[in-house]
Amino acid sequence: MTNPAPASLAPTLGFIEELAHEAISTLPEPFRIPATHVRLRVEDFPDDEMLEELGVEDSFELTGLYDGIPLTEKSTSDQVTRPDVIWLFRRPILDEWAERGDVSISELVSHVVIHELAHHFGWTDDQIAAIDRWWE
């Protein structure tokens, strides 16, 4: 990972993406490589179409989104029409980070990435908790 952003500057889209890749690289072995097959996209905010589809009115309420078909619902006979994508939204993440004040930006990005990967892998709450100790 590159040097962290100076304290006076908000983390960039690229820095958030680096943190997300770092979070994926620390996953337990059975999940690490499959997680790298999910495309990561980092934007400042979700677009209006995403918000409308999810019924979310305030774009600051959405820190991340998994867009794809969970592995538990895929079949080898399925025709792949688009890649699975995890979207991270920088401004809502930064707002939550500032509001919390008790976690690092790396911890928060890792939490959002793992939460979105949970949708991809079809994990239970217990499986999420074994990897992401967020609630302890």
Q: Does residue 4 lie in a domain region?
A: no
The pairing of strands 64-67 and 85-89 is antiparallel
The CATH number linked to 49 is 3.30.2010.20
Please report whether residue 66 resides in a domain: yes
Task: Indicate whether 52 belongs to any domain.
Answer: yes
**Mean pLDDT per 10-residue run, the chain (136 residues)?**
59 96 91 92 96 94 92 74 92 95 93 92 78 61
Asked if 56 and 62 touch (Cβ cutoff 8 Å), the reply is: yes
Classify residue 40: in a domain, yes or no.
yes
Amino acid 10: pLDDT: 84
Is 45 inside any structural domain?
Answer: yes
Total domains, the chain? 1
pLDDT at 128: 75
Are 103 and 97 within 8 A, CB to CB? Answer: yes
Residue type at 132 in one-letter notation: D
**Residue ranges making up the domain that contains 24:** 13-70+83-131
How confident is the model at residue 121, as a pLDDT? Answer: 87
pLDDT given for residue 72 in this prediction:
83
